Amino acid sequence: MTYATLMVHLELGKPNADLLQITANLAQRFQASVIGIAACQPIQYVYGDGFISGQVMEQNRDEIQREADAAETEFRAVLGGRVSGLDWRFAITGASIADYIGEEARSADLLITKPDRGGSMLDRTRNVDMGDLIIRAGRPVLLVPAGATRLTPDRVMIAWKDSREARRATLDALPFLEMASRVTLVEIAAEDEMAGAGKRLDDVSSWLKRHGIAAEPFVVRATGDDASAIEAVAREQSADVIVAGAYGHSRLREWVLGGVTADLLLASNRCALLAH
């Protein structure tokens, strides 16, 4: 199993060189083609009489297009000559950016992006709601923390929970797991669940072994803060990537992520591969 096509989401109006370097390195490792994608919602200027200035709207669209052109130029400059098979997609969309990228993700095996840690109202017309994107993409999403300049996926940690999301994430992560020199399999369990957790991890380890992957299982006693426990084990194991299921529930049309998933999105300084 491999990732034949990667899709990298670029932010408009911001430098994306670090994210593109990581994407290029992964594309070379997997011999994958790469699709660059960006999107923006136009700012709606409504005046007191209820009318929107056509001139202002046109200026806003021109600015968006300039930023998109700059992002495409950066995309091709970093990946051109290093990756065969580049494609670029961009849209000014009235729908949510998560909807647009989620639909386009059908063309890729893995979506690569940076977590949105908040910003101004202007930023929100350019940034994607990560919770919505992960839920809607139907593809694994690799989150690259701000400031990361390289990813060598030698040590991969699976944050296991006996759920369909964790099973899906582990399956989707097989290309990383096959490449890793060390794979750890971790479940956080209450005192009375530790024996059952050990049995579950043995089952998953046996399944991975049949794929040629040797995984070391660890059951960690729950202390009430699963996210901190996962991060502590990841730090102890020097994990390059954390693999986890993405959990959430729908509130109106938006997705509210569970606490551990949200912490992996916003607080982790490690790459995380999430799948719903």
**Predicted pLDDT of residue 229:** 87
Confidence of residue 94 (pLDDT cuts 50, 70, 90): confident
Closest listed residue to residue 174, CA positions, set 126, 211, 223, 217: 211
Residue 6 burial by CB count (10 A; 0-12/13-18/19+): exposed, middle or buried?
A: buried
Instruction: Give 122's pLDDT tier (boundaries 50, 70, 90).
Output: very low
- Of the candidate ranges 65-74, 172-181, 223-232, the one whose mean pLDDT is the lowest: 223-232
Indicate the class that CATH gives domain 5-143: alpha beta
Give me the pLDDT at residue 167, please. 96
Q: Give the start-to-end residue ranges of the domains of the chain.
A: 5-143, 155-275
Whole-number pLDDT of residue 241: 95
pLDDT average, residue stretch 199-203: 98
3-state helix, strand, coil in the chain (%, to 5): 40, 25, 35
Distance CA 257, CA 132 (A): 9
Predicted confidence band of residue 159 (pLDDT cuts 50, 70, 90): very high
- Facing residues of 250 across strands? 255
What superfamily in CATH does domain 155-275 come from? Answer: HUPs (3.40.50.620)
* Whole-number pLDDT of residue 107: 98
pLDDT range class, residue 253, cuts 50, 70, 90: very low
β-sheet bridge partners, residue 92: 40
Identical topology for domains 5-143 and 155-275: yes
Lowest pLDDT segment from 169-173, 229-233, 246-250: 246-250
- What's the mean pLDDT in 222-240? 88
What token pair was written down for 252?
Answer: 């109106």
Q: Is 253 or 75 the better-scoring residue by pLDDT?
A: 75
pLDDT at 255 over 80: no
For 61, the token pair is: 């669209």
What pLDDT, on the 0 to 100 scale, is given for residue 135?
87
- What mean pLDDT value characterizes the chain? 87
Looking at residue 1, what is its pLDDT?
81
Give the pLDDT confidence score for residue 227 in this predicted structure. Answer: 82
Q: What is the mean pLDDT of residues 258-275?
A: 75
The pLDDT of 217-231, averaged and rounded, is 88
